[in-house]
Amino acid sequence: MAGHDVFKLIMIETTITIDGPAASGKTTVGYQLAEKLGYVFLDTGVMYRAVTLVTLNRDIDPNNEAAVVEIANNLQFDISPEVDHPDGRHYTVLVNGEDATWQIRSPGVNENVSVVSSYPAVRDEMVRLQREFAAGHAVVMVGRDIGTVVLPNAPLKFYMDATAEIRALRRLSDHLVRNYNSVEFEKILADIERRDAIDSSRAHSPLKPAEDAVVIDTSQLTPNGVLETMLESVEERGLPNLAA
Ligand code: DC
């Protein structure tokens, strides 16, 4: 076994957290960062979306906290990376055994996911799964509370932000790519502002930067610019590059 393989095995557990509001660019850049460093990537928003999707598919009112908690506690969730998938996905999400990669991005899920993710018992279960996922891995984990609650001892934490208008424009272009042509900018902006308000003001694990987070305002930066900034921090902190 070559020397660097031994190093990989020894250093395998390390975490980089990226938090920030909806459409701040954290998922795109987090994925690229994980790829560059040879780490596993987990976008935790996908898990809250999965709980929301099952709730809606079963015609359960998302305001029915007890029923939603029951769904979260019994969720079968699986995520696996994809390379060169024909529909452009970076990973496949299986929810209760079915491919839900695109359904978890539907407008119905967007509308209801903040309420679902505000329930403490739902969060407790997702956090448990996220910690389990991080154990023994080199991982880039993206979400709202990863640096503050899920992995407070992570050696490197980022908080990405951008104005609500810029984030709405980014979401709009995502929607257009997936043919949601009827979705208007104003509607997306209103949805982002509504979700920001719920995510930041909820009592349990509100969205906020960890005290030791590197805060990056992405409003004026390209994804590449953000990635460069992050890689500088990775080097400064001496975190291993497992892809090198
Ligand atoms: O990042 P996203 O838009 O896919 O997240 C969907 C929702 O999930 C978002 O409104 C807030 C919630 N979320 C959360 O509360 N905690 C996380 N760690 C990740 C997402």
pLDDT tens digits for range 143-191: 999 999 999 999 999 999 999 999 998 888 876 666 555 567 888 899 8
What average pLDDT does this structure show over 9-16?
A: 73
* DSSP collapsed to 3 states, the chain: CCHHHHHHHHCCCEEEEEECCCCCCHHHHHHHHHHHHCCEEEECHHHHHHHHHHHHHCCCCCCCHHHHHHHHHCCCEEEEECCCCCCCCCEEEEECCEECCCHHHCHHHHHHHHHHCCCHHHHHHHHHHHHHHHCCCEEEEEECCHHHHHCCCCCEEEEEECCHHHHHHHHHHHHHHCCCCCCCHHHHHHHHHHHHHHHHHCCCCCCCCCCCCEEEECCCCCHHHHHHHHHHHHHHHCCCCCCC
CA 48 to ligand 1: nearest atom: 8
Confidence tier at 3 by pLDDT (50, 70, 90): very low
User: Which pLDDT tens digit goes with each residue over 41-89?
Assistant: 999 999 999 999 999 999 999 999 999 999 999 999 999 988 889 998 8
Ligand 1 neighbourhood includes 17 CB (under 6 angstroms): no
pTM of the model: 0.89
Q: Is the pLDDT of residue 4 over 60?
A: no
Nearest CA to ligand 1 atom 20: 45
Share of the chain above pLDDT 70, in %: 92
- Indicate the top mutation candidate among 113, 148, 151 to test ligand 1's pocket, ranked by most ligand atoms within 8 A of CB: 113
Q: Spell out the domains of the chain, with CATH numbers in brackets.
A: 3-223 (3.40.50.300)
Q: What is the pLDDT of residue 203?
A: 85
Q: What's the whole-number average pLDDT of the chain?
A: 90
- Using the mean position of ligand 1's atoms as its centre, give its distance from the Cα of residue 182 in Å: 24
Kindly give the distance from the C-alpha atom of residue 44 to the centroid of ligand 1, in angstroms, as a whole number.
7
- pLDDT at residue 108 tops 80: yes
* Atom number of ligand 1 nearest to Cα 150: 18
> Residue 236 pLDDT > 90, yes or no?
yes
What's the rounded mean pLDDT across residues 130-140? 93
pLDDT for residue 40 is more than 80? yes
Binned at pLDDT 50, 70 and 90, residue 11 comes out as low
